[in-house]
Structure 1
């Protein structure tokens, strides 16, 4: 394994930037009131980044009240006005790109090349997309369906949205939650993970600086048990959008349904990577390494289960291991670093536990260890390839959420597709083949919200993201996301001006 040198650029000055507090309510930073202090830690070094008081229930109440007060004015703005505001926001985000990139790298351990080339540009593009999409929220055009009436459909905002985002993509998840909600005329209270609040707070400040009214976007940085559950159950929150694990998603659903809220869930994944025997082997190997290691494997769409048809299996294992061993693990701020640490030492230890247990029933081909030397203090784990595990084993069934790829063989196409679908999850998948009919069959039969062909991971603002089965329901990004953040109203006008309608006889009188 190659370790790049260290770099020492200016660290993002989180403690100075958020000296007033790590809550953003009604257009300003304020301190939390829970009485509990949390410290954000740089996972690359173990050094403290920001200590702040967590949000308590009173802070959630204040944020919801601010969002509720802002709702009538924002919902009443024209689509053009909301569009103009989001265009300004995209500009502010672009102007502050380096700030966002450094803050995201610092709190998550992401290599700067990932935050600069993926997280931040994707967020700016998402803002630009929803700026345009805000003008296209039409309902069905008018029509006479009963003969005596004219009907049309309105799309209206829901109200205050309470959203909860995870720690793996804090900036992009903030954008995915906030942008469609406010583009549709809603206001929002977002709870980022307490581990990684920095870029959500920067995003909220950018919203204010773009001229979007105070209270439209609010941030509460607190724990899921206190701030999150109170937000989901709040009587003035009309909708909940949650991204995170399936286990926590079940708890969110339990709380939300008690108050009959609109609910959107994007949950866990265990994406299959299905390689048929006519695939371009080099392309599949490169795709597997990139698709399994992006964001240090902390991605619910990451390639985690590679099923390779028997004629290519041994070559795939050998070449994937060799390519993994060229990946440069190191300081996230160094320009030649490919892979940074996991988000925390606890997450690293969780991943290591999966791999250590797998040694008893499978073959760890490469990796499976924490690096030594300069990286020993960080939450690093080497890119890991596991082969010859059984389909019912823990590493095949469970979401590891780390830089670990498991490879299994299959014989027939039927078997390969059946193995790909043999999971409670259904968020993403990929199929690798030169045969268009074979690939098309895989896209039809694999049960996942996204199926890539001869690639794995790319996302674009114009297309929806969401899962099947235990990976949740509803869509992020694209115009399809407006189905989550709007409610449909049918309006019907009588065209006859007749007082006594023919249908009244079913209630009183005769024809």
Structure 2
């Protein structure tokens, strides 16, 4: 690894957030919890920004601001909301390089990933929802009982949404939470991870600069047990949306259920990567390495379990090991770097723990170690020989670790792919259209790619099966989460005594 660029020159976080790391009613403010927290660059271990965490008072203020802004924003026409969100997309475009640098500094994400994936994806999401704001669909009006009544459906905003986003994709997760909510006329209080708040705050500031009214988008940066639980349980919050681990998601559901909130959960994943014996080997090898290592494997849709039909198994393992060896670790601020650090030393140690325990029952083909460096780096790791019921196959590791297992029949490959508690994403690799069709039908996951792994689209939904949660991010399907459906019925007869009244009034 080479010399690392000075972070305050790459992105001046202290200068940008001198007024605090909370964004309430259109401005940055300081937290009132009395607890100091530091954003730490995981590539160097250096403090990027120190700030005061949000407490209950800050959550209350943000919810109050969102509640006050709700009637005006919900009452705006779809065209007015759409226009504001088109301006929002333009603001984000103008700030693209700033956003990319902030994302890299706080996450350790390679700058080329921030520039080419996170930021463009967020801008595209914003542009999509700017258009979608004008297309809130419902069943067409009609006389469904033969003529006595006319019925139609109203799709209405729910109210204040309280959302909690994770640290692995702070900017994109802010967008996935905020955009469908406000496009549908809701207002929102977002709690990003206290580890990575910078781009969420910048995202909210861009919304204000675009003319979205104060209070529509608020950000509280606090710890989960204090700020997060208070937000989820707040009586003025009508809906909770959470992305994170399945374990924390269960706690969020427990708190939200006490106040009968609508709940949207996008939880963990353990994506299978199923390679049939007619697949293109080179494509599968490259897809597996890219799919396993994106964002240093800190991705709930990352390829984590590769099942390879036995005729291709040995060649696949060798190809993946060779390609992993070419991946360049280095300064995330350097465009030549392929793989950055994990989010923290504690998380790196957690990932390393999975690998060390696996040595007793499996083979570590390559990687499996941290390089000599003060940052939270871990080498790309390939494991073979693990049993299907072993920890590295069943548990979400959330790091640059790929486990490869062989299978014989197509039935076995699909059965193994489905054999974990999770069901967020998967891929099937084959040239046979019938095999591909069967895999997409029978693999229980919210997204199944064929001959690729990872790409997402603003127009397509993202969400899972089983322990991976429920509800959809992105696409027009997300409006099902963020709107309330109301049936409206008009009498067309002007008759005082309806025919159905006889069930109450007898023969009178």
When normalised by structure 2's length, the TM-score is 0.99
| Secondary structure at the counterpart of residue 405 of structure 1 | strand
The alignment's C-alpha RMSD in Å is 0.9
Larger deviation, residues 197-206 vs 7-16: 7-16
Contact 1:428 1:451 in 2 (8 A): yes
Q: Is residue 44–residue 341 contact of structure 1 (8 Å, CA) maintained in 2?
A: yes
Q: Retained in 2: the 8 A contact 1:8–1:333? A: no
Cα distance, 1:505 vs. partner? Answer: 1.0
Deviation at 1:146, TM superposition (A): 1.4
Rounded Cα–Cα distance in structure 2 between residues aligned with 1:128 and 1:14: 27
- Aligned-pair CA distance for 1:353: 0.6
Please tell me whether the aligned partners of residues 449 and 468 of structure 1 are also in contact (alpha carbons under 8 angstroms): yes
Q: 1:80 — aligned with what?
A: 79
Give how far 1:419 is off: 0.3
Aligned residue for 1:13? 12
Following superposition of structure 1 onto structure 2, how do residues 326-341 of structure 1 map, counting pairs within 5 Å? 326-341=326-341
Q: In structure 1, how many angstroms separate the alpha carbons of the residues matched to 2:467 and 2:241? A: 15
- CA displacement at 1:509 relative to structure 2: 3.7
- Residue 41 of structure 1 corresponds to 40
Aligned partners of 1:334, 1:41: CA distance in 2, in Å? 18
| Partner residue, 1:153 | 153
Segments of 5+ residues of structure 1 without an aligned counterpart are: none
Q: Secondary structure at the match of 2:461?
A: coil
**Equivalent residue, structure 1, for 2:168:** 168
- Residue 434 of structure 1 is matched in structure 2 by 431
Equivalence map 1:93-242=2 (5 Å): 93-147=92-146, 148-242=148-242
Q: In structure 1, what is the Cα distance between the partners aligned to 2:4 and 2:375? A: 13
Structure 2 Cα separation of the partners of residues 65 and 141 of structure 1: 36
Paired residue for 1:508?
Answer: 505
Which residue does the alignment assign to 1:274? 274
Q: What is the CA–CA distance in structure 2 between the aligned matches of 1:465 and 1:457, rounded to whole Å?
A: 11
Matches within 5 A, 1:256-267: 256-267=256-267
Counterpart CA distance in 1 for 2:152 and 2:46 is 58
1:255 is the counterpart of 2:255: yes
Bigger Cα displacement from structure 2, 169-178 vs 143-152: 143-152
- Deviation (angstroms), 1:250: 0.3
2:467 alignment partner in structure 1: 470
Q: Is the 8 A contact 1:164 1:242 kept in 2?
A: yes
Deviation, 1:453, is: 0.2
In structure 2, runs of 5+ residues without a counterpart are none
SS for the counterpart of 2:10 is coil
For 1:507, what is the secondary structure of its paired residue? helix
Per-residue deviation, 1:8: 5.0
Q: Provide, for residues 159-193 of structure 1, a one-character-per-residue CA deviation record: whole Å limited to 9, x for no partner.
A: 00000000000000000000000000000000000
Secondary structure of 1:201's aligned partner: helix
The question of whether the paired residues in 2 share the 8 Å contact of 1:4 and 1:337 is answered with no
Q: 1:17-68 CA distances to partner (integer Å, 9 max, x unpaired)?
A: 1111100000011100111010010000000001100000010000000000
Work out the CA distance in 1 between the residues paired with 2:259 and 2:244: 21
Contact 1:4–1:328 at 8 Å: present in 2 too?
A: no
Deviations 1:420-443 (A, max 9, x none): 000000000000001000011000
Give the match for residue 312 of structure 2: 312
Cα distance in 2 for partners of 1:451, 1:17 equals: 41
Judge conservation of contact 1:74–1:216 (CA < 8 Å) in 2: yes
Q: Distance in 2 between matches of 1:175 and 1:54?
A: 22
**CA deviation after TM superposition for structure 1 residue 11, in Å:** 2.2
- Identify the residue that residue 246 of structure 2 maps to in structure 1: 246
3-state DSSP of counterpart to 1:99: helix
Q: 1:422 matched to which residue of 2?
A: 419
Secondary structure of 2:312 counterpart: helix
- Please give the per-residue CA displacement for 1:292-323, whole angstroms capped at 9, x wherever unaligned: 00000000000000000011111100110000
What SS does structure 2 have at the residue aligned with 1:65? Answer: helix
C-alpha distance in 1, partners of 2:482/2:174? 15
